[in-house]
Amino acid sequence: MKKLKAFLIAFVLFIGFVAVLHMYCLSVGVKTDDPYFGTWNSPYKDLSYNALDQNIKKNDMFVFGSSEFRHGRSTLFHPANFFRDSNVKLVTIGGPWNEALTHTVALGALEPQIKNRRVVMLVSPTWYRTAKGVPPQGYSLRFSETEYVAFLKNKDVPMSVKKYVARRSVHLLRKSPSQLNDVKLFNRVLLHMGSPCLTDKLAYKAVTMYQNDKDIITTRAAMTLLRPHDKAYHCKTRPFKGKRTRWSYWADLGRQYALKHSTNNPFFMKDKIWKNKVCHEFPKSKDLHRKNNLLVSREYKDLAAFLTICRANNIRPMLVLLPMNGYWYDYTGIGPAERAKFARKITKFAGSYGAEVTDLTVYDYTLGINQDAVHPWREGWVKINEALYNFYAEKQ
Separation of alpha carbons 149 and 147, rounded Å:
5
243 has a pLDDT exceeding 70: no
* Closest alpha carbon to 162 in 149, 143, 175, 177: 149
pLDDT for the residue 259 = 96
Q: Is 268 left (phi over 0), alpha (psi -120 to 50) or beta?
A: left
- Residues 341-364 have a mean pLDDT of 98
* Closest alpha carbon to 111 in 168, 186, 52: 52
For 94-108, the pLDDT digits (tens) are 999 999 999 999 999
pLDDT for the residue 23 = 55
For 160-190, the pLDDT digits (tens) are 999 999 999 999 999 999 999 999 999 999 9
3-state secondary structure of 244: strand
In this structure, the number of other CB atoms found within 10 A of the CB of residue 225 comes to 9
For 272-315, the pLDDT digits (tens) are 999 999 999 999 999 999 999 999 999 999 999 999 999 999 99
Separation of alpha carbons 218 and 258, rounded Å:
39
* 283-to-268, 336, 375 alpha-carbon distances in Å: 17, 22, 21
pLDDT for the residue 238 = 64
DSSP state letters, 160-177: HHHHHHHHHHHHHTTT-H
For 106-164, the pLDDT digits (tens) are 999 999 999 999 999 999 999 999 999 999 999 999 999 999 999 999 999 999 999 99
1 has a pLDDT exceeding 50: yes
Separation of alpha carbons 197 and 207, rounded Å:
15
User: Residue 116: which H helix or E strand, with range?
Assistant: none
20 has a pLDDT exceeding 70: no
Separation of alpha carbons 238 and 261, rounded Å:
23
Question: pLDDT band at 19, cuts 50/70/90?
Answer: very low
In this structure, the number of other CB atoms found within 10 A of the CB of residue 211 comes to 18
Question: pLDDT band at 229, cuts 50/70/90?
Answer: confident
Positive or negative torsion for Cα 246, 248, 250, 252: negative
What does the mean pLDDT of the chain come to?
Answer: 91
Question: Against a cut of 0.75, is the pTM above it?
Answer: yes
For 320-331, the pLDDT digits (tens) are 999 999 999 999
- Per-residue burial over 237-251, b if 16 or more Cβ lie within 10 Å, else e, is eebbeeeebeeeebb
Separation of alpha carbons 379 and 252, rounded Å:
7
Q: Is 143 left (phi over 0), alpha (psi -120 to 50) or beta?
A: beta
